[in-house]
Amino acid sequence: MTLCWVDGSPADALCVKDRGLAYGDGLFETILVKSGQPLLFERHLQRLASGGQRLTLALDLAIIRRECMAFAQQMGEGVMKLIVTRGDGQRGYAPTPDAPPRRVLQGSLLPAYPERNAEHGIRLFSCQTRLAEQPLLAGLKHLNRLEQVIARGEWQDAEHAEGLMRDTSGRIIEAVYSNLFLVKDNMLQTADLSRCGVAGVMRAELLVQAQAAGICVKVVDLQMADLEQADEVFVCNSVYGIWPVCAFERQNWLVGPLTRKLQNLARRLLDI
Amino acid sequence: MTLCWVDGSPADALCVKDRGLAYGDGLFETILVKSGQPLLFERHLQRLASGGQRLTLALDLAIIRRECMAFAQQMGEGVMKLIVTRGDGQRGYAPTPDAPPRRVLQGSLLPAYPERNAEHGIRLFSCQTRLAEQPLLAGLKHLNRLEQVIARGEWQDAEHAEGLMRDTSGRIIEAVYSNLFLVKDNMLQTADLSRCGVAGVMRAELLVQAQAAGICVKVVDLQMADLEQADEVFVCNSVYGIWPVCAFERQNWLVGPLTRKLQNLARRLLDI
């Protein structure tokens, strides 16, 4: 049995009136847990808090912090998923003003990724599904994820560990489960996420740490030509760290030095 | 206590692993029930079936039909909300192939709308929230409804019964809870919903019935200028039928003859 709490108590069910179910009206975080500690936890809480502000969810961060710490302690090791929703609703989109947000915590085992993903890199599938441009939701890890569900349904083979997602204007935004970085002439580039995409916790951490290490970093609009001309390509998230990208369509890349350097950095962040 | 079933049995909770909660991975229908009968039921089922096909949800429509009929019978009168989700998931967007879709039915009382809405018309709020253009999801009544939640949060006064929603390109698409029609020179116009918006059951029924009654009907891209120049404006859904729009920003309209004619038609559809 996997560990699961609803509003701080062990439970594996929640009220059918929950607005998370009705409208995807909420946010989530997927947090790596090792030795009973949630990793990159402050960044996860930071993103959650800023999402709560943008969706006007009255989150009690002190309770959320406490519960996550206690839950991680019980889990020991694995992936902790935190969902916060606007709580129970009545019929209609208007929120019930006095309904407190709901907290759901679910634990799962550490995923068993093939060693080669981190060592030799992954093949990136070219998703046809495009991300709609919605600045009001851009960057948030909210519960409206049908675009990712459809995109992930585009490939079944085990050859592709990730899929590249563009927006409806053709710009490169991210991968289905992660953010994408390019290296060109020793400069690190990743997509601007003000129109769509999820602003990943590992992405944020890498941007800060790379800059601190004297690496030139640019958050820009990325076109397909930028990918074609990139010297190195990698994807990142807060569970597996960094995977080099070794292939996309007819293109191939070797694992580059900057990717390795940042990968080691990510490893240290995800290992205590 | 309100009536509630999960997968055909009385229950008011569902598994926290449900993909409806995790990703909004599902569809819903809001169905008016009178004298134990679900109204416009075939159209609701039709839309659900086409949504299921587009999201590759393996819906068992025979079971859904049977459950809705039995549920409506028990309710007698009110609003029946049907949610279907992709069922329980594991971690990650990829669907578990063998998880059967989940069915949730919730009953609520007939909403008590002010008489004047139908008689004298409603004021339409001008929502700043724009609908993102996502052809893959356009028309569907799916569970990713954060845009509507944000839009509905824009006004708190009771003066506005509905809000007008445009897409990110500025086209008029719909209202928050309903579809919008304009009348110009005795021609009925409503927005093309191939980029965004919910293709309402009442909208579909009115389009068919108006055409059958010899009324010229056009499904087009609507600009704000079309609204300004309209002779009549109304909103419609499958719960309240038709409400004339009497005001939007500085503009006012009288309840016109075509609106009244179609309103009577909608009344007959929602009354047995």
Domains B4-108 and B115-269 share a fold: no
- φ, ψ (nearest 5 deg) of residue A176: -60, -40
Q: pLDDT per residue over A27-77, tens digit each?
A: 999 999 999 999 999 999 999 999 999 999 999 999 999 999 999 999 999
The predicted pLDDT at position B2 comes to 80
Q: What whole-number distance in Å separates Cα of residue B233 and Cα of residue B244? A: 6
What residue type is assigned to position A125 of the chain? F
Please judge whether A23 and B136 are an interchain contact, meaning their C-beta atoms are less than 8 angstroms apart. no
> How many Cβ atoms are within 10 Å of A36's Cβ, its own excluded?
15
Q: pLDDT per residue over A164-209, tens digit each?
A: 999 999 999 999 999 999 999 999 999 999 999 999 999 999 999 9
Q: pLDDT per residue over B222-242, tens digit each?
A: 999 999 999 999 999 999 999
Average pLDDT, chain B: 96
| Owner of token pair 């930071």 | A46
Please provide the CATH number assigned to the domain covering B4-108. Answer: 3.30.470.10
Closest by Cβ to A106, choosing from B6, B16, B86: B16
User: Quick check: A106 pLDDT over 60?
Assistant: yes
The predicted pLDDT at position B1 comes to 52
Domain ranges of chain A: 4-108, 115-269
User: Quick check: A269 pLDDT over 60?
Assistant: yes
- Angle of helix A41-54 relative to helix A201-212, nearest 10 degrees, comes to 120
Residues sharing a CB contact under 8 Å with residue B268, sequence separation 6 or more, in sequence order: none
The predicted pLDDT at position B272 comes to 59
Contacts A24 to B, Cβ<8 Å: 23-24, 143-146
State the nearest Cα–Cα gap between A61 and chain B, in angstroms.
Answer: 21
The predicted pLDDT at position A96 comes to 77
Q: Pick the residue from chain A with its C-alpha nearest to B11.
A: A16
Please judge whether A16 and B15 are an interchain contact, meaning their C-beta atoms are less than 8 angstroms apart. no
The predicted pLDDT at position A1 comes to 52
Please provide the CATH number assigned to the domain covering A115-269. Answer: 3.20.10.10
Q: pLDDT per residue over B196-226, tens digit each?
A: 999 999 999 999 999 999 999 999 999 999 9
State the nearest Cα–Cα gap between A213 and chain B, in angstroms.
Answer: 33
* Average pLDDT value for residue range B59-75: 97
Q: What whole-number distance in Å separates Cα of residue A185 and Cα of residue B180? A: 53
Helix (H, G, I), strand (E, B) or coil at A266: helix
> How many Cβ atoms are within 10 Å of A2's Cβ, its own excluded?
12
Among A109-113, A216-220, B140-144, the minimum mean pLDDT is found in A109-113
* Average pLDDT value for residue range B145-166: 96
Q: Where are the alpha helices (DSSP H) in chain A?
A: 19-23, 41-54, 61-75, 115-119, 146-152, 201-212, 224-228, 257-269
Q: How confident is the model at residue B78 (pLDDT cuts 50, 70, 90)?
A: very high
* Average pLDDT value for residue range B90-117: 90
State the nearest Cα–Cα gap between A214 and chain B, in angstroms.
Answer: 35
pTM above 0.95, yes or no: yes
Closest CA to A209 of A40, A24, A10, A9: A40
Q: Where are the alpha helices (DSSP H) in chain B?
A: 19-23, 41-54, 61-75, 115-119, 146-152, 201-212, 224-228, 257-269
Structural contact between residues B14 and B102, judged by C-beta atoms closer than 8 angstroms: yes
The predicted pLDDT at position B65 comes to 98
* Average pLDDT value for residue range B178-191: 98
Q: Parallel, antiparallel, or unpaired for β A37-38 and A26-34?
A: antiparallel
Closest by Cβ to A168, choosing from B86, B133, B142: B133
Tell me what ipTM this predicted complex has.
0.96
Please judge whether B134 and A132 are an interchain contact, meaning their C-beta atoms are less than 8 angstroms apart. yes
Contacts A93 to B, Cβ<8 Å: 145, 148-149, 151-152, 176-177
